Chains A and B, each alone.
Chain A
Amino acid sequence: MKIRIKDKVYEVEISDSGGERVKIKVGGKEFSFGEDKKEISVAKTVLPKRDFSKKEIKAPIAGIVSEIFVKEEDFIKKEQKTLVISAMKMENEIVSDFEGRIRKILVQKNQEVKEGDTLIVFQ
């Protein structure tokens, strides 16, 4: 069956899993409901998919990494400055789009980078 919440339509499937538990599938995610000690418990049986692929900082411009302000394992905030790329005599401060812990820094000071090169990967 389909239910509409605000403007979004969800595909919902209800099934009996035996005993006194009921499984409800909403848009690919499965939830299990049951009556334990007269309390209703809700358990997610499928973890939401997380998109790790975008959690990295890429070089927006070709140039030379002239300064690095962060190190691996650092927890950094959104908009925190991470490094500087010098290009055509412009100094380009690269700030983070994400909040998170840095897993790997793939560049070193004075290294040349091309536009689109991955600089920093988050955990």
Chain B
Amino acid sequence: MKILKFKIISSTNEIAKKLAEKRKTEPWQVIAAEKQTSGYGRKKTAWFSPNGGLYFSVILPKSKIEDLQTLTILAAFIVAKVIKENFNLETFIKLPNDVMIMSNVKCQMSKPKKICGVLTENVISKEVKLSIMGIGLNTNIEKFPKDLEKRATSLKIELGREVDNEKILNQIVEEIRNQLKTISE
């Protein structure tokens, strides 16, 4: 797996798009960052991206739009599965692209909190020219700002320990590859 790693970057999706437009990438190239200064989700809403989190984008091979829609939903399931299998945390999907977990931390009752978001961006003319899947997973984030802490959590907050970002990244990308192969056949 080819991973282009950055210490700090504006947004992995933005840089992936720029590199792909200059034809400096190939399918399944991964662009990962330790920190994003302008991480974003849908409608350019900000994605909290300090050091510790896992932020990456995957250049997808040219596929049909229907397959990409399915893959976006599947990506959320894949992240949920990886979290469940590795850390035994109860995950669920807020369709179609957010992963939540039931958090007990600092709450008297468990509360659903967002742990991951998936944003697929396509560039289309008559056909799909470019597809990028961006994933932001709150792994080793210690603390969220006041306005987010009731809605967001991280694996570190839930588990009380650090996790291996690179291992998680590899598992997620491999699974996405397998799923795209299956739905495109």
Contact = CB atoms under 8 A, between A and B. Distances in A.
B69 interface: yes
The prevalent SS among residues of B at the interface is mixed
Nearest to A96: B125
Contacts of A87: 69
Given A60-B126, A95-B129, A97-B126, A90 B121 contact: yes
B104 to A, nearest CB: 28
B19 interface: no
A66 B118 CA distance: 18
B125 A97 contact: yes
A122 to B, nearest CB: 14
B20 to A, nearest CB: 12
B57 interface: no
Interface residues of B, number: 20
Given A61-B124, A66-B43, A89 B129 contact: no
Nearest to A86: B42
A1 interface: no
A79 interface: yes
A90 B134 CA distance: 11
B72 A90 contact: yes
B123 A90 contact: no
Interface in A80-120: 81, 86-97
Interface string B103-121: 0000000000000001111
Nearest to A79: B125
Contacts of B119: 89, 91
Q: Which 6 A-B pairs have the closest CB atoms?
A: A89-B97, A90-B120, A88-B69, A92-B122, A91-B121, A93-B123
